[in-house]
Structure 1
């Protein structure tokens, strides 16, 4: 008789002692919960990309340019847009895409150590800016103006960011499984 049992596809990607996502609060105030959910989603992206190096740029399936590295670059630009441009009112153009290259975040995601390092550095910087902005914000009803949505609150942006990461982490699940067979949530 086997001493191991089959695992579900939805098993944890890492063990509970190594999972940085388990520290999010499940009680308490709204700001703490929203920040906790966003941090957990960011941590999921990091876990899905861990240990891949050159594999980060592997495309899902042609003709798509979707890759884990592309997701990192895309999410750096998304964080930058919502927190720096919309809420903080900064003149902060996207790092990886432009009007001339609207899909530059994905198209430019190539297997080059400099490109990979630049993507992670940008993503970490934008997440750190967002975290500091949220911490310093007087309340969740703080607003900014967006050309796409109009007036948006910090609360809306945080909810949107959780949704944005959750959607793309679903892509990351499939990309990671295609790269090396690793599955789990």
Structure 2
């Protein structure tokens, strides 16, 4: 029998191994968010249409839904709120608020498009953070009011961490893979 602690990647193969544990705030926040993003990718690695497998009825939660949801989350906080861009969500809408999960179907093009969208939003967010003069850059959110880049980074770390917990269970249900 294998223990869960034995199921993680060896440090020399784990893209999260170099996360800073000391130093300036911005590099640590960027590293921690990058590690959470890498965890999502690891949880989904090697799967295609299986990414759309639902958790348990009646839930529409799936790994593919998480990728689509997190693409919309990245888009919302970095493009809409901090950059002030007119960038509607890619997957959800007022008429289909759960479109990110409901539209996560086992189709190769849907899977490929979700990864393209997520990677585009992550790249935009990384460029935005790199160009920001400091963590006190602010934007206005209809839900929270004024938010800083610092808060958004912390919120995204929390958002990914929560959903990566879901991803642990979804991946194990899909093919038995644990750890990662």
- TM class, shorter-length: over 0.9
Q: Residues 12 and 135 from structure 1, CA distance in 2 versus in 1: closer, same or farther, beyond 3 angstroms?
A: farther
Contact 1:98–1:104 (8 Å) recurs in 2: yes
Per the alignment, residue 85 of structure 2 pairs with 90
* Structure-2 separation of matches of 1:12 and 1:78: 29
1:114 is matched with 109
1:142 equivalenced with 2:137 (yes/no): yes
Q: CA deviation at 1:23?
A: 1.6
TM norm structure 1: 0.95
After superposition, residues 1-185 of structure 1 pair within 5 angstroms as 7-185=2-180
- How far apart, CA to CA, are the structure 1 residues paired with 2:62 and 2:164? 11
The higher radius of gyration belongs to: 1
The 10-residue stretch of structure 1 (122-131 or 7-16) with the greater mean CA deviation from structure 2: 7-16
* 1:8 CA drift (Å): 2.6
Shift of 1:18: 1.3
Distance 2:82 2:99 in 1: 24
The list of structure 1 runs, each at least 4 consecutive aligned residues, that deviate by more than 4 angstroms after superposition, is none
- Contact in 2 for aligned 1:10/1:183 (Cα 8 Å): no
With normalisation by structure 2, the TM-score equals 0.97
Distance in 2, matches of 1:10 and 1:106, equals 30
Gaps of 5+ in 1: 1-5
Q: 1:84 to 1:14 in 2, by over 3 A?
A: same
Q: Distance in 1 between matches of 2:49 and 2:173?
A: 14
Provide the C-alpha distance between the structure 1 equivalents of 2:66 and 2:93, rounded to a whole number of angstroms.
16
RMSD: 1.0
In 2, Cα distance between equivalents of 1:183 and 1:58: 16
Q: What is the CA-CA distance between 1:32 and the residue it aligns to?
A: 0.2
Aligned residues: 180
